[in-house]
Amino acid sequence: MTDAKFDLIVESFRKFLRRGAITHLSNMVNKMRPADVAQVIRHLPAVQEQRTVFEVIRDVKMKAAVLSETEAPIMTHLLLDMPPHDVVGILRELASDDVADILGHLPEEKAQDVLQLMKVEESEEVEDLLQYPEETAGGIMTTEFVALPEETTVKDAIAHLQETSAKQMVFYLYVTDGDGRLVGVVSLRQLLTVHPSAPLKKIMTTDVISVVTDVDQEEVAKLVARYNILAIPVVDKENKLVGIVTVDDVVDVIREEATEDILKLAGATEADLFQMSSLRAARMRLPWLLTSLLGGMVSGVVLWFFRPAIKDVIALASFIPVITAMGGNIGLQTSTLVVRGLATGRIESADLRGVFFKELAVGMLMGTVCGFIVGVVGHLWHGPAMLGVVVGVSMFAAITVAAVMGTLVPLLLRRIGVDPAISSGPFVTASNDITGLVIYLSLATALLSYLT
């Protein structure tokens, strides 16, 4: 659906809602794709409107599909006042990972009510899933997979597939030994192209790529992307198959992680900023800003310390913004490259030295160009040739130091086990401002007699 068409649809929805034209609304909603309905719901401003749209959906399967496409805060609003019995009816249509995800976001009490109403078997499955940390293979996996013993024939396997319900897309058939340990995998395509009486053992691929439940979701996404597979089996410590993570969930993980990294670099740590109240959003972003505020004030202290030079040669003040701006920028540029390189696997531990010297060289080159320009401008603008030299050399030094810091800080943070994305932004910027000013003003103070 194009953006323009989408805007029109949202408009019609709001018109129908204002007029209370529920029949029109219902006709429209029930003809749409679940993902599109979810998208419209997300763009309705009032919770009551969101609920009304959700309630006019006739088919419980569609309700379930819409629900699985909405984000946590909206999902909670939609389900909060619904009788637990109805909630169970909808959840029954969803795969266990989606159910666990939804229950994980409901208030404890409500989730308990719902779990008690579910069939024992179903609720056990969901409770098991709820135990895994959210951002691990266990936390994103589904337990709806097809696994068969290695002796099963192709014919029986096909018959089994025909009987299995179709909540989840099936891509592969997993093959297990007598103890439930994962020993092989067969693609649906393979099933179609071999003799019906062959046992799975004969046709399966034994070199299966799998992950253990506690592997980070980012790692899972990397593996699925690297090996171009549609689903990755998740096993426990004993190599017993406990679930699978499918490529559509991996797509979501990659988007989420990219968004998270971007926002972290900008000092905003939550993806849900647009759904929060302004007050909460401001509170979330404040810690980062206060780091920055502190850094800015330390820069101020540095300036204060060197005030005699500035008072004598006021021209010095006119280059303070450009020195701090350039240091901050280069630092951000370099740290962003390094953080992203680490995240996508383009930088591996093997080439850290190479990356460092490369960024050092780039920093020195850029420092030379910018230093030269600023030096010439300084001389032409304010007179003394030495002023040009001081400004130019300081700019070169500030940029080079910024490039070095921008490379080292994320690498060091990673080494001590801190997520490089979260801390490099404000920290690098503030320390580059300070270093740049110290270099500039101490050089100016030392050469003060040549500047007047």
Q: Closest distance between its own copies and the C-beta of residue 136, in Å? A: 16
Specify the residue, 125 or 257, whose C-beta has the smaller distance to its own copies: 257
- Interatomic CA distance for residues 293 and 148, integer angstroms: 60
Q: Closest distance between its own copies and the C-beta of residue 323, in Å? A: 8
Task: Taking the CA atoms of 382, 383, 387 and 393 in sequence, report the sign of the dihedral they define.
Answer: positive
Specify the residue, 262 or 408, whose C-beta has the smaller distance to its own copies: 262
Q: Closest distance between its own copies and the C-beta of residue 193, in Å? A: 5
- Interatomic CA distance for residues 297 and 301, integer angstroms: 6
Mark out the alpha helices in 228-351 (DSSP H runs). Answer: 247-265, 278-305, 307-312, 320-344
Mark out the alpha helices in 306-419 (DSSP H runs). Answer: 307-312, 320-344, 352-382, 385-415
Specify the residue, 127 or 289, whose C-beta has the smaller distance to its own copies: 289
- For residue 216, the 8-state DSSP code is B
Mark out the alpha helices in 20-151 (DSSP H runs). Answer: 22-29, 34-43, 47-55, 60-69, 72-80, 84-91, 96-105, 108-117, 120-130, 137-140
Q: Closest distance between its own copies and the C-beta of residue 234, in Å? A: 17
- Interatomic CA distance for residues 297 and 291, integer angstroms: 10
Specify the residue, 118 or 413, whose C-beta has the smaller distance to its own copies: 413
Nearest one of 387, 393, 406, 374 to 450, comparing CA atoms: 387
Specify the residue, 11 or 59, whose C-beta has the smaller distance to its own copies: 11
Amino acid symbol at 325: A
How is residue 422 written in tokens?
């979260």
- Interatomic CA distance for residues 62 and 39, integer angstroms: 14
Q: Closest distance between its own copies and the C-beta of residue 156, in Å? A: 13
Contact 295, 430 (CB under 8 A): yes
- Side by side, the strands of the sheet bearing 182-187 are 147-149, 172-176, 182-187
CB atoms closer than 10 angstroms to residue 203: 18
Specify the residue, 87 or 399, whose C-beta has the smaller distance to its own copies: 399
- Side by side, the strands of the sheet bearing 231-235 are 211-212, 231-235, 241-246
Q: Closest distance between its own copies and the C-beta of residue 443, in Å? A: 17
Specify the residue, 179 or 353, whose C-beta has the smaller distance to its own copies: 353
Q: Closest distance between its own copies and the C-beta of residue 319, in Å? A: 6
Q: Closest distance between its own copies and the C-beta of residue 322, in Å? A: 3
Specify the residue, 85 or 195, whose C-beta has the smaller distance to its own copies: 195
Specify the residue, 293 or 385, whose C-beta has the smaller distance to its own copies: 293
Q: Closest distance between its own copies and the C-beta of residue 169, in Å? A: 7
Contact 164, 170 (CB under 8 A): yes
- Interatomic CA distance for residues 284 and 203, integer angstroms: 54
First to last CA, the chain: 67
Q: Closest distance between its own copies and the C-beta of residue 191, in Å? A: 8
Specify the residue, 111 or 428, whose C-beta has the smaller distance to its own copies: 428
